[in-house]
Amino acid sequence: MGDLRINRPRRIPALRPRELVAGDIAGIGHNGGPPIDDHIPEWGFGGIGTYFAWRAASEAAFKKVPVQAAIRRAKKAETLGLTYREYQLEILERGVFLQASDAGRIAEIKARRKR
């Protein structure tokens, strides 16, 4: 009948793995995950403290504003050159509704912005 080499699986040459160095091998107790030194949590480098309580309170303060008031404040903030959040924080912190005549305070808020 002859040689049936057509039905035999073809052998693929094995690729040689790259050479390992000492830095590739994780030490005892290491799970092989990414380094945590590069990660900065939302609360920064210090302890958590009351971060989550402050965040929840801040979100609650912004959610309690009626829709029409939020729209009115957003338009007012835009005319003053502020963001809605900056304008809302000024109302919550100081109880002051900024006007165009409060140019000094508006300049301070703009200077505080992160660039």
Mean pLDDT by 10 residues, the chain (115 residues): 62 72 75 71 74 84 87 94 92 90 92 79
pLDDT at 81: 93
pLDDT at 8: 65
- Residue with tokens 């030194």, as numbered in its chain: 37
What is the pTM for the complete model shown? 0.54
pLDDT at 4: 62
Contact present, 73 and 88 (Cβ < 8 Å):
yes
